[in-house]
Amino acid sequence: MSVETIIQSAPRITETMIAARFWASVDVRRRHECWPWQKASRNGYGVFHPTKGETVGAHRFALEIALGRPLAEGMQARHLVCDNPPCCNPAHLAEGTNADNVADMVGKSRQARGSMKSRLAEADIVSMRERAAQGALLADLAVEYGIAPSLVTMIVRGQRWKHAGGPITLTYRKASA
């Protein structure tokens, strides 16, 4: 919901009052620094409640105040300078599409890799691949990392965790039957 819509839905509250309440919740620092949101957040991004029952992203609200208008239909507030979710510094923000935001994320290698629920880190994958290439038994690696032997096989072959480093091994030692 845009600042303009919120103001129209609550005529007794002025735009200046809402903006003042908003900026009171931001740690405003020097122009080049991040200005972190100091109140509630969701997934690291600040959330602001301009009126009862209304919720808007704090960085979006900051950008709309700075622009003096609501963001265009389908547009988002993007963190261009800092990639810091709680930052509300308008100098760090820009209006853009979801595709722009995703392109920023990929270009800066900020996208999730592997599984967020994974018990393995990229360093584990590299180590596992290196050890498999040196002849370690896949069954031993599976026990050590607490994962299924079939997953170890897919990891060392490069079928899983494709983005991670380490040697891809197509021939390896299995436990003898």
pLDDT in tens, 100-149: 988 888 787 776 665 556 678 888 899 999 999 999 999 889 888 888 88
Residue 166: per-residue pLDDT: 86
| Same-domain pairing of 132 and 166 | yes
Query: Per-residue confidence of the chain (177 residues) as pLDDT tens digits?
Result: 666 665 565 555 688 899 999 999 999 999 999 999 999 888 889 999 998 889 999 999 999 999 999 999 999 999 998 888 899 999 999 999 999 988 888 787 776 665 556 678 888 899 999 999 999 999 889 888 888 888 999 999 988 888 888 888 777 666 665
- The Cα 117–Cα 145 span in angstroms is 14
Give residue 38's pLDDT: 95
Q: CA separation (Å) from 119 to 7, 21, 126, 142, 147?
A: 47, 42, 14, 12, 9
What is the model's pLDDT at position 11?
A: 54
Specify whether 14 is located in the same domain as 35.
yes
Domain extent for 135: 113-177
The SS3 assignment for 164 reads: coil
Structure tokens given for 152: 């170890």
**CATH code at 71?**
3.90.75
**Domain end call among 80, 107, 134:** 107
Q: What pLDDT does residue 116 have?
A: 54
The verdict on 63 and 22 lying in the same domain is yes
pLDDT at 137: 92
- For residue 18, CA distances in Å to 3, 4, 14, 65, 166 come to 9, 11, 6, 10, 53
pLDDT for 6: 57
